[in-house]
């Protein structure tokens, strides 16, 4: 027993000594490489990637683009976090990346973005947001941080329009009875709230009605938050939201509710703010239409070919290419800043497919490991570029525009 | 074989098994250091990181050792930590006092623990049964608290409020003080001996006049203090709390206690430092897997296999021919 106690005491002393070393250490951030002609491939750059989702098709497609294309093309190594459930997990993952000498972090996780930015700034590690943006308030607070590179992704207006355009697509065809899947709306996820708001406003406009007293973007967002993000079926003038399900419970009750909405004979169109293929595809009736906002995968193409899915607003995996090159550029001493010297915030939209042929064409490009939508040659033009060049490049996000850029 | 020889052999074997968790920790430490040197890891930052990542589990699990010593089990500790942290954060937002936040965290956690143990006493149920009910209740309470707070899906304490105490020194002081408190109670007071006796043989304990219910209440109260401190440390590290806060802590506590060599059946072989050794070992193992860039699925499988191995070794140790001494 004495030996055991001595060993334990010895271990404690060792831990304390290293803790002292940890407390006294100084971080060295940034880098000293400066090459304006193009990315410096002579030294490997480690980049941490924060993810809150490791299993969805979208998350896997993004990861494949970074690990199977970008990592093969550039002298970089991506370190992925585990699935991050909360702010503490995000902080731990950032600590892990810093300990492993990552020079930059690209974040797909949003439990506490301000804390992520603060932690990276404090430790001299570059930080960028992929496939998302900060709120205006947050941007104003952090835009001047030296190590905050910026954000590229659909802003909230783009999310709103994605929902609006999808609902309008069906309303224009004369459909009036809808079932809706609200995804993470009850969890206060802004992206899904704005998409849902867009769908509801489109219904209000087509039906000459209101939903919870609201009929435009501002009032609808306010009404949704006012209702605690809990939506209900309602008659909206000449249009009707017949059924509504939200959340990601994945239990029998949840699947039962989805089936009930899809099995309602009056429902003509099923709309989903996300994950519609998971939620509704299994229950959808042959005469119903299904629209979803998600990403391009072999499964979604197959669903479009079978007629199960007929509208898909999808992110493309290479959409995270520009944020990568901006991060690499910053790490190698050529940060891309706005004219005022701030971090950038650039909105990027979706590819919309309304036919199987379109979806197939998009997917072939999107899943390519040799010629993806954004190739190295295209991304290299952004290395050390001006803000206006980066903005112009990112904002040409439609499939046709990107094909033009590739030429 | 004479009795003396048998006893010596068993004692040697027992000592070896007792040292196994410490040796495991030393081994993991050595592997981590070697990898850190080979892979050019920032070693000082890594140690700071290991402390940050293990301190909550060390504190919460060390208190839980008192429960496990009784041969009992509490699966609601993670949910209890989450509820305590949420209410503590709400208390800070009302009062603006970090001290009030600390006291509320500890008070709520102790309260929850006492409810579990008192309910078990009133209804004469095994304590772990009431903790299962508490797990459901607390999980629902988390959603109610977040909903009632009215600020979306999180409850936040301003980062500036806890920045001053979000450092390794503060966490180490909290951890060492609580460890010292627990070691004192467990190894130097009657309470620890009674707990071990109760866990090892409840019938004999009862016949000698020990009150099992009182011991259970005391064990849960001490565990509650650890959970409350864990909740407070969670807020200092990440002051944005959600329904997912501490979602893995409950399982981490169980794994750490077993990983540290604590017999799952409790009793005389229980060791108060098991949780600390187990928690740090787990964190080191995670760091090693991260450094090796192992896929998280592979990492989970490795951890599961080690867990089974440790339980097997722990059980083997109990197959001796003589009672522990």
CB contact at 8 A, B262 and B68: yes
Asked if the Cβ–Cβ distance from A87 to B245 is below 8 Å, we say: yes
Res. A31 pLDDT band, cuts 50 70 90: very low
Asked if the Cβ–Cβ distance from B41 to A92 is below 8 Å, we say: no
Asked if the Cβ–Cβ distance from A228 to B147 is below 8 Å, we say: yes
CB contact at 8 A, B35 and A74: no
- Hey, what are A302's tokens? 């197959």
CA–CA separation, A351 and A347 (whole Å) = 14
SS3 call for A231? coil
Indicate the residue of B48, B248, B277 with minimum beta-carbon distance to A22: B48
Q: Is B228 on the interface with A (CB under 8 A)?
A: no
Pairing of strands A351-353, A177-181: unpaired
A→B interface, C-beta within 8 Å: 1, 3-4, 7-8, 11, 14-16, 18-19, 21-25, 27, 54, 79, 82-83, 85-92, 95-96, 98-101, 111-112, 114-115, 118, 187-189, 228
In the sheet where A177-181 sits, what is the strand order? A234-236, A239-245, A177-181, A269-272, A289-295, A311-315, A351-353
Chain B segment 277-306 residues within 8 A of A by beta carbon are 277, 280, 287, 290-291, 293, 296, 299
Q: Where is average pLDDT lowest: A181-190, A262-271, B118-127? A: B118-127
Chain A's closest residue to B53, CA to CA, is A92
Within 8 A by CB and 6+ apart from B137, the residues are: none
The candidate with the shortest Cα–Cα distance to B17, out of B267, B306, B313, B324, is B313
The candidate with the shortest Cα–Cα distance to A389, out of A324, A350, A344, A342, is A344
Domain residue extents for chain B: 55-317
CA–CA separation, A300 and A303 (whole Å) = 5
CB contact at 8 A, B296 and A83: yes
The candidate with the shortest Cα–Cα distance to A87, out of A50, A123, A124, is A50
* Cα of B236 to nearest chain A Cα, Å: 10
Share of chain A above pLDDT 90, in %: 69
Asked if the Cβ–Cβ distance from A21 to B25 is below 8 Å, we say: no
Q: Which domains does chain A have, with CATH numbers?
A: 45-153+317-336+343-349+373-406 (3.40.50.2300), 157-295 (3.40.50)
Chain A's closest residue to B171, CA to CA, is A19
Asked if the Cβ–Cβ distance from A115 to B240 is below 8 Å, we say: yes
pLDDT digits (tens, 9 = 90+) for B202-249: 889 888 888 888 898 999 999 999 999 999 999 999 999 988 898 889
Chain B segment 150-169 residues within 8 A of A by beta carbon are 152-154, 159, 167-169
Cα atoms in the Cβ-side hemisphere of radius 13 Å centred on A102: 27
Within 8 A by CB and 6+ apart from B279, the residues are: B54, B57, B58, B61, B252, B256, B259, B260
CB contact at 8 A, B120 and B127: yes
CA–CA separation, B53 and B56 (whole Å) = 7
pLDDT at position B218: 93
- Give chain B positions within 8 Å (CB) of A111: 154, 240, 242, 244
Written in H, E and C, the secondary structure of B181-238 is HHHHHHHHCHHHHHHHHHHHCHHHHHHCCCCHHHHHHHHHHHHHHHHHHHHHHHHHHC
Q: Is B147 on the interface with A (CB under 8 A)?
A: yes
**A50-55 average pLDDT score:** 89
Q: Is B62 on the interface with A (CB under 8 A)?
A: no
Rg (CA), chain A: 23
- Return the number of other C-beta atoms located less than 10 Å from residue A320's C-beta: 25
* Cα of B149 to nearest chain A Cα, Å: 11
Within 8 A by CB and 6+ apart from A52, the residues are: A83, A84, A85, A108, A109, A110, A111
Residue A378 has pLDDT above 80, yes or no: yes
Res. A20 pLDDT band, cuts 50 70 90: very low
- Give chain A positions within 8 Å (CB) of B241: 86-87
pLDDT digits (tens, 9 = 90+) for A90-100: 999 999 999 99
Predicted complex ipTM: 0.83
pLDDT at position B12: 76
Residue A341 vs residue B7, higher pLDDT: A341
Task: Indicate the CATH number for domain B55-317.
Answer: 1.10.3470
């Amino acid at each position: 027993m004495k030996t055991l106690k001595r060993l334990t005491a010895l271990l404690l002393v060792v831990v304390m000594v290293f803790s002292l070393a940890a407390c006294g250490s100084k971080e060295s951030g940034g880098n000293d490489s400066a090459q304006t002609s193009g990315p410096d491939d002579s030294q490997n750059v480690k980049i941490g990637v924060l993810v809150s989702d490791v299993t969805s098709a979208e998350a896997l497609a993004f990861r494949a683009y970074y690990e199977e294309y970008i990592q093969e093309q550039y002298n970089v190594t991506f370190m992925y976090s585990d699935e991050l459930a909360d702010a503490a997990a995000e902080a731990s993952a950032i600590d892990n990346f810093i300990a492993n000498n990552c020079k930059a972090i690209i974040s797909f996780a949003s439990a506490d973005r301000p804390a992520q930015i603060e932690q990276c700034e404090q430790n001299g590690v570059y930080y960028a947001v992929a496939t998302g943006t900060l709120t205006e308030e947050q941007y104003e607070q952090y835009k001047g941080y030296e190590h905050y590179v910026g954000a590229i992704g659909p802003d909230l207006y783009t999310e709103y329009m994605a929902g609006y355009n999808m609902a309008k697509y069906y309303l224009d065809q004369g459909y009036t009875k809808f079932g809706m899947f609200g995804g993470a709306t009850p969890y206060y996820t802004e992206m899904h709230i704005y998409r849902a708001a867009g769908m509801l406003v489109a219904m209000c406009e087509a039906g000459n009605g209101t939903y919870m007293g609201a009929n435009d973007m501002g009032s609808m967002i306010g009404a949704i938050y006012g209702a605690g993000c809990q939506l209900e079926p309602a008659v909206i003038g000449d249009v009707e939201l017949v059924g509504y399900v939200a959340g990601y419970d994945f239990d029998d009750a949840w699947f039962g509710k989805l089936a009930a909405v899809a099995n309602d004979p009056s429902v003509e169109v099923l709309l989903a703010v996300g994950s519609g293929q998971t939620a509704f595809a299994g229950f959808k009736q042959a005469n119903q239409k299904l629209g979803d906002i998600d990403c391009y995968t072999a499964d979604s193409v197959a669903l479009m070919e079978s007629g199960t899915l007929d509208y898909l607003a999808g992110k493309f995996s290479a959409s995270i290419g520009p944020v990568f090159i901006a991060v690499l550029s910053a790490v190698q001493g050529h940060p891309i800043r706005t004219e005022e010297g701030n971090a950038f915030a650039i909105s990027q939209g979706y590819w919309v497919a309304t036919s199987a042929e379109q979806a197939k064409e998009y997917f072939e490009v999107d899943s390519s490991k040799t010629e993806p939508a954004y190739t190295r040659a295209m991304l290299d033009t952004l290395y050390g570029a001006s803000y206006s060049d980066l903005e112009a490049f990112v904002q040409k996000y439609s499939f046709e525009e990107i094909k033009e850029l590739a030429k | 074989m004479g009795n003396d020889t048998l006893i010596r052999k068993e004692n040697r074997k027992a000592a070896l098994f007792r040292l196994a968790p410490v040796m495991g920790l030393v081994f993991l430490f050595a592997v981590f250091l070697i990898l850190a040197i080979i892979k050019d890891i920032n070693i000082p930052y890594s140690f700071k990181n290991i402390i940050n990542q293990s301190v909550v589990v060390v504190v919460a699990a060390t208190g839980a050792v008192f429960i496990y010593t009784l041969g009992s089990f509490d699966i609601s500790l993670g949910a209890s930590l989450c509820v305590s942290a949420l209410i503590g954060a709400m208390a800070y937002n009302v009062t603006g006092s970090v001290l009030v936040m600390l006291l509320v965290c500890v008070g709520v956690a102790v309260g929850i623990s006492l409810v579990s143990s008192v309910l078990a006493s009133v209804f004469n149920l095994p304590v772990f049964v009431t903790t299962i009910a508490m797990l459901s209740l607390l999980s629902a309470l988390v959603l109610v608290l977040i909903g009632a707070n009215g600020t979306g899906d999180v409850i936040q304490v301003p980062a500036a409020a806890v920045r001053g105490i979000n450092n390794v020194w503060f966490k180490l002081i909290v951890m060492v003080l609580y460890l010292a408190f627990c070691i004192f109670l467990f190894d130097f007071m009657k309470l620890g001996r009674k707990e071990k006796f109760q866990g090892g043989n409840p019938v004999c304990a009862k016949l000698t006049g020990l009150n099992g219910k009182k011991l259970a209440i005391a064990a849960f109260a001490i565990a509650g203090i650890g959970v409350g401190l864990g909740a407070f440390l969670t807020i200092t590290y990440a002051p944005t709390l959600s329904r997912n806060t501490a979602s893995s802590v409950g399982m981490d506590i169980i794994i750490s206690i077993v990983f540290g060599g604590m017999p799952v059946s409790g009793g005389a072989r229980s060791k108060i430092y098991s949780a600390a050794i187990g928690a740090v070992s787990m964190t080191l193992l995670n760091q090693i897997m991260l450094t090796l860039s192992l896929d998280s699925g592979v990492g989970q499988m490795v951890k599961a296999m080690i867990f089974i191995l440790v339980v097997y070794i722990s059980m083997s140790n109990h197959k001796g021919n003589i009672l522990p001494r």
